[in-house]
Amino acid sequence: MFDLIPAIDLLDGKLVRLHQGNYDQITTYGHNPVSVAESFAEAGAHWIHVVDLNAARSGIPRHQKEIEDIIKHVTVNVQVGGGIRSQEVAEEYLQLGAGRIVLGSSAVENPQLLSSLLSAYSSRIAVGVDAKDGLVLVRGWEARTQLKATDFALALAQSGVRTLIYTDVARDGSLAGPNLKSLEEFLGAVSVTVIASGGVGSVEDVVSVRALQKNYPHLSGLITGKALYDGRIRLRDALEALQ
């Protein structure tokens, strides 16, 4: 199984994409994330990846209502991330029906929270490992740590995390193609489920990432956003190419 997962990024109530996570380089794609989510579900997506970019930066949720509406209006799984830094916020999204939540900064800064959520919800918890030049970024990708992405991934796997989402921030929103070398290095560090993200610009990029599954069967999917919104990829075509 290999899932191509469309992304919905929310900022100030709008559906947007950032370039390399830069909040000063924003492209807006409308104000109706529910209809976009419905179109992704109709095209055949099994998962939709939704991120509250305001919360990723500040730690304060901004789009609970929009996320709740998306979950209510689609029958596919919704994966929610962005600024989930407390048990209360995590459980709110899970109770709304999120199939999985994604911790980022809190997995680095608050391992006790991660441990607590893993104990209670296990497979519904994923951790985003967002890296640039091999080092983990946090707080809306605006703060660089000294953690090597591969070392952090290994520690997370050993702590019981079953799903990791690896984003090469330097490629995110660039349409320049995924960094297959860094992805392979990451896949080689762990044996838990990995979902890749960052740089997809064509159906060929999707197929090239899927090809890595031959050597790394724990690679289970790929998140894409800007290529869909810019018309570089039709979701239905890309899903057919993966069959």
Q: Which residues are annotated as catalytic?
A: 9, 130
Which helix H or strand E contains 49, and what residues bound it? strand 47-52
Which residues are registered as beta bridge partners of 195? 165, 221
| 8 A C-beta contact, residue 194 and residue 186 | yes
Residue 201, token pair as written in the block: 């610009």
- Token pair for 81: 């991330």
Burial 95-131 (b: 16+ CB within 10 A, else e): ebebbbbbbbbbbbeeeebbeebbeeeeebbbbbbbb
Helix-strand-coil split of the chain, %, nearest 5: 40, 30, 30
Burial call 170-191: b when 16+ CB within 10 Å, e when fewer: bbbbbbebbbbebbeebbebbe
